[in-house]
Amino acid sequence: MRVVLAVVAGKVAGFLSRIGGYQGSSLPGRIARRVDGGVLTKLAGQVRRGIILVSGTNGKTTTVNMIADVLRHGGYRVTANQEGANMLNGVTAAFVKDADCLGRIRSDFAVIEGDEAYVPGIVREIKPGLVVVTNISQDQMDRHGEPERILGIIAASLKGLKNTVLALNGDDPAVAYLASRAELPAVYFGMAVVTHAATKKSSGPNRIAATLFCPHCDSILYSFGAHNGHLGGYRCDNCGFAKPDQRVEALEAVAVGDAYLCVVDIDGSKEQLTLQAKGLFNVMNAMAAITACLHSGMEIATILSGMAAYKPVTGRMEKYLYKGKTVFLVLVKNLVGFSEALAALREEPESMDILIALNDQEGDGQDLSWLWEVDFETLINQKKNLHSFTCTGQRGADAALRLKYADVPRERIALVPDLSQAVKQALGGRGEKVYLLVNYTLLQQVSDVLGKINN
Ligand SMILES: [Zn+2]
């Protein structure tokens, strides 16, 4: 009975906040949990076939979207927190949204993105059958620092689970070693050495002259064929710890426009895959997604056709070229849209300049307080090559203030009231790409400025 009240309360809260013009995606979860602390466990327990949890530093949202899309392509009903709200309230909100008013869930699968730090709580409440770990960002100078702490938290939370299998990025030694630490069976995915022009370009600035240490015995790990920072093949001559056999491995990935033509080894058979995605990191996310779908019992052919049909979620995004630089114009009209835009931006390896243009006219929704809920902090912490933030529009000052609170160095924030001047300043930055994040009533104006500049 209580779970019914919790679901209804959550739905009502979500409805009221939406008609108030506010789209907090985790609010229904927060309210439902207040009514019934066990609501998530009760709803997750009704999922028919399996619960997949995806965690890691980068690529979570994309991987969840790919898995959910492919499962749906295979005819399954899927519950997923695809908006990227990945702490307990956000995860609960995804289930509340899919439940009917009697507190029933009819999904075959749940695909859940979990923030690394929240994995213990999420695991306890949803008991995933498959846990996918994409990567844990590793600072070579600080091998016992933050990544190690996160890996420890994840391993401890998984240990002792019954009937849980791990799907791990086998190219990353610390992630591959999670199977031993958590004492759970694992399948692995990764990328064999990929050599072509596009790889060289995208991995160039990221290449780290890595000294790796064996996660088992701490000896120096011999690594070879690193294609993206420290990811690649490796072997420890001391204890024999080595890159595991991969169930799913990209053998080739050739960039053609905004797609990749890939050859993928799946269970020993070579398959062709066309992937609509930019950036080699998305090929890795696809390998993770294919592994999860295979584990869920789907046929290879269905998985591949589902992956080929996958379209990246970018919200409303338009692409321009300015003096050889790629410029993205993105509509960010609320918290969800803004969060999705930042998630896309976080996954770009290139350096960039950013414009934030916000108005507060009727079409924009006059309450922009959600700006304070946008997770700029994760972006700023993870992505060190953001050269400048230019803020403009009626609420440009709010955006600048928000960035200051997110610890963006003052000299990287510019408040430029004149719209056309602001756009020009962002385009003229040092970065390789430009993102223009714009809300509703400014979209046409910025688009016009771009048109004029380009002619
Ligand atoms: Zn070793």
Q: How far is the CA of 78 from the centre of ligand 1 (A)?
A: 40
- Give the Å distances, CA to CA, from 242 to 171, 245, 352: 10, 9, 36
Backbone phi and psi for residue 371, each to the nearest 5 degrees, phi listed first: -55, -30
Share of the chain above pLDDT 70, in %: 88
Q: Give the pair of three-digit tokens for residue 432.
A: 């390789």
Sequence-ordered list of residues with C-beta below 8 angstroms from that of 15, at least 6 positions apart, any chain: none
- pLDDT score of 367: 80
Share of the chain above pLDDT 90, in %: 55
Q: How far is the CA of 140 from the centre of ligand 1 (A)?
A: 17
- pLDDT score of 383: 84
Contact by Cβ (8 Å): 269, 249: no
Q: What is the DSSP string of 15-53?
A: HHHHHTT---TTHHHHHHHHH-TTHHHHHHTT-SSEEEE
- pLDDT score of 207: 37
Contact by Cβ (8 Å): 77, 323: no
Q: How far is the CA of 249 from the centre of ligand 1 (A)?
A: 24
Residue 152 three-state SS: helix
Nearest CA-CA partner of 266 in 242, 302, 227? 302
Q: How far is the CA of 163 from the centre of ligand 1 (A)?
A: 28
Q: How far is the CA of 338 from the centre of ligand 1 (A)?
A: 43
Q: How far is the CA of 175 from the centre of ligand 1 (A)?
A: 14
Q: How far is the CA of 238 from the centre of ligand 1 (A)?
A: 5
- pLDDT score of 52: 98
What structural domains and CATH numbers belong to the chain? 129-309 (3.40.1190.10), 317-454 (3.90.190.20)
- pLDDT score of 455: 58
Nearest CA-CA partner of 277 in 350, 344, 194? 344
Side-chain half-sphere exposure of 342, counting CA atoms within 13 A: 23
Q: How far is the CA of 156 from the centre of ligand 1 (A)?
A: 21
pTM of the model: 0.71
Q: How far is the CA of 253 from the centre of ligand 1 (A)?
A: 31
Q: How far is the CA of 244 from the centre of ligand 1 (A)?
A: 14
Contact by Cβ (8 Å): 23, 93: no
Q: How far is the CA of 220 from the centre of ligand 1 (A)?
A: 8
Tens of pLDDT, residues 189-241: 998 865 443 333 333 333 333 457 898 998 888 776 655 544 567 889 899 99
Q: How far is the CA of 231 from the centre of ligand 1 (A)?
A: 17
Q: How far is the CA of 317 from the centre of ligand 1 (A)?
A: 46
Helix orientation angle between 88-98 and 2-19, rounded to the nearest 10 degrees: 100
How many Å is the maximal CA-CA distance in the chain?
66
Sequence-ordered list of residues with C-beta below 8 angstroms from that of 209, at least 6 positions apart, any chain: none
- pLDDT score of 20: 65
Q: How far is the CA of 172 from the centre of ligand 1 (A)?
A: 14
- pLDDT score of 80: 95
- pLDDT score of 190: 92
Backbone phi and psi for residue 293, each to the nearest 5 degrees, phi listed first: -70, -40
Q: How far apart are CA 95 and CA 47, in angstroms?
A: 10
- pLDDT score of 98: 95
Contact by Cβ (8 Å): 49, 78: no
Q: How far apart are CA 356 and CA 320, in angstroms?
A: 17
Q: How far is the CA of 222 from the centre of ligand 1 (A)?
A: 10
pLDDT < 70 stretches in the chain: 20-24, 83-84, 137-145, 193-211, 224-232, 278-279, 313-317, 454-455
Q: How far is the CA of 290 from the centre of ligand 1 (A)?
A: 30
Q: How far is the CA of 237 from the centre of ligand 1 (A)?
A: 7
Q: Give the pair of three-digit tokens for residue 134.
A: 């994409």
Q: How far is the CA of 142 from the centre of ligand 1 (A)?
A: 19
Q: Give the pair of three-digit tokens for residue 403.
A: 């960035």
Q: Are β-strands 130-133 and 50-55 bridged in parallel, bridged antiparallel, or unpaired? A: parallel
Q: Give the pair of three-digit tokens for residue 351.
A: 């350096």
- pLDDT score of 409: 93
Tokens 């591949």 found at: 304
- pLDDT score of 211: 59
